[in-house]
Amino acid sequence: PLVGVLELQQIQNSYSEREEKEKALTGFVEKALTENSNLCPSHYEEKATAYSEIYNAAEKEADDYVAQKLKEQMQKSDECRQERIAKRLTKLRAVHAQMIGIMGDFPLAMECTWNEESERQILKFECFYVQQSMSTLISAPSYANKNAVSTIAEMIKQKFTILQEKDFFTYASIKNSSNRFRKAMYEYCVNNLTPEKLLKSSRADAEFFRQVEENKPTRALVRALNGIETALEDIFSVSVARANENEAEDPIAQARVARYRKLATVVWKKKRVDFRSGPYPYIMDMQNLKDCYTACIEEFRIMKKNAKDYIASTESRAFLRREAEGGGILSRQEALNFVFAPKIYREWIGGTSRIPYDDVRNRRFSSLRTAHEQYFRHPNRNQIRREDALA
C-alpha cells in the first residue's frame, strides 16, 4: 500500500472536514510515489521480482520433493505387489500340481491360463465348472491346504468321470433324431462346437453335470448351449433353411439359403425375449425352448412369405431398374435384400421413426422401399456396412 494504517488514522484524527482529509491524503500519496520513498513502485517491482524468484524456487523444491516421495512410494508399492504375486503364484502352482496329480486322466478339465502380471487373476481354468468350484481357493490360496484341494479335485474328477462314461460328447441322444431342431442341434455341435467350447459355457455348471448324471443329456446340452453366444439362433436358422441335396454346389441356392438363415436369426432374436425365464442371465429350459421354437416357426413362415412378396413386387422390380447412383457400398439388389435382415430396433428414415422388422411383418412395403432407398444412397448415414450385405 502507498499509505499506511498509521497515516490514515493520523489524517482521520487531525482533520474534521472532508476536503482537508482528501488534501492530506493526496500529500501522503505524492510523497510515497517519489523515488526517495521506500513505497516507490519501482522499489515494489524489485521486491516483487525477488519474492517471485524465491517463491518459484521454493515451489520447484517442493514439487521435486513430492515427486521423489511419490516415486519412492510407488516403487515400494510395486515391490510389495510383486512380492504378493510371487507368493500367490508359488501357492497356486502347488495347488495346480496337486490337481494334475488327481485329475491326470482328464486334461480337458485342467486347461487353464496363467497371468503373472495380475494379482487377482493369476490362474483361470477354462472349464466354467472347474473355475467355479475352485474360485474360493484361487482367490485365497493361503487357505488351500492339501485336504481342501483334494476334496474339490475329487469332486470335479467324479463329474468328468460321469461325463466320460456316458460318452456325452458323441451327442448320441440327438444323433438320429427326426425332430428337425434336434437334428440341427446335432449338426451344430458336430460342426461348430468342441468339448472345450461347450465346457467354457457359463451354463456348463453344477446343474449341467447333475442333468448328465441323471441321464438327461439333451436337457444338459440345451442348458450349456444357452451360455454360448448365438448358438440357439444358429441352430434354429439351420433347422428352417436348408438347400436341397442336388443344390449343394449351386451358388445361387447357397445364397438363397444364407438369406433365409439370416432372416431366421432375426426372427429368433425378436421372439426369444418372450420365452426367457429366471433371473439374468436368462436361460431357456426345454419347455421354454419348445414353445419358443414353435412360435418362431410360425413367425418365420410369415416373415419369409412377406420378404419374398416384397422382392417380387412390381415396385421393387422398378427400383432395380433405376439408374441413379448410390453410395458406392451396396448394389440395388443388395439394398433390397435387407428385407431378410430387418433391424429390430427403431431407426430414423425420411424424418420418421420406424422399426423395419415391423414393416416386414405388417407388409408395409412402401416404408421398406423408402428405407432401402436410403440404405442404397446413404449407407454410412444409416450405419450400413459392406460386410452386412446379402447377395
| pLDDT for residue 276 is more than 80 | no
Q: What pLDDT sits at residue 124?
A: 94
Look at the block and give the residue holding cell 441323471: 214
Instruction: Identify the band that residue 286 occupies on the pLDDT scale cut at 50, 70 and 90.
Output: confident
| pLDDT for residue 282 is more than 80 | no
Q: What is the pLDDT averaged over residues 320-345? A: 83
Long-range (24+ apart) CB contacts under 8 A made by 148-157 are: 149/95, 149/98, 149/99, 150/98, 150/102, 153/98, 153/99, 153/102, 153/103, 154/102, 156/103, 156/109, 156/129, 156/130, 157/102, 157/103, 157/105, 157/106, 157/109
Range from 137-146, 195-204, 280-289 carrying the lowest mean pLDDT: 280-289
Q: What pLDDT sits at residue 39?
A: 57
Q: What pLDDT sits at residue 197?
A: 95
Maximum pairwise Cα distance, the chain: 121
Range from 181-195, 201-215, 247-261 carrying the lowest mean pLDDT: 247-261
Q: What pLDDT sits at residue 187?
A: 94
Instruction: Identify the band that residue 285 occupies on the pLDDT scale cut at 50, 70 and 90.
Output: confident
Q: What pLDDT sits at residue 175?
A: 92
Range from 43-57, 222-236, 256-270 carrying the lowest mean pLDDT: 43-57
Bridge partners of residue 352, in order along the sequence = 349
**Cell numbers at residue 145, please?**
491346504
Q: What does the mean pLDDT of the chain come to? A: 87
Question: What is the CA 108 to chain-centroid distance, rounded?
Answer: 27
Q: Which residues of 195-217 are buried (b: 16+ CB within 10 A; e: fewer)?
A: eeebbbbebbbeebbebbeeebb
pLDDT higher at 32 or 165: 165
- The pTM (predicted TM-score) of the whole model is 0.75
Q: pLDDT exceeding 70 applies to what percent of the chain?
A: 92
Residues 6+ apart with CB under 8 A from 182: 174, 218
Q: What pLDDT sits at residue 315?
A: 92
* Nearest partner of 284 among 192, 180, 292, judged by Cα: 292
Bridge partners of residue 348, in order along the sequence = 353
User: Model confidence over 121-135: pLDDT tens digits?
Assistant: 899 999 999 999 999
CA dist 258 and 246 (Å) reads: 17
Strands 352-354 and 347-349: antiparallel
| pLDDT for residue 1 is more than 60 | no
Residue 261 near residue 230, CB atoms below 8 Å: no
User: Model confidence over 79-106: pLDDT tens digits?
Assistant: 999 999 999 999 999 999 999 999 888 9
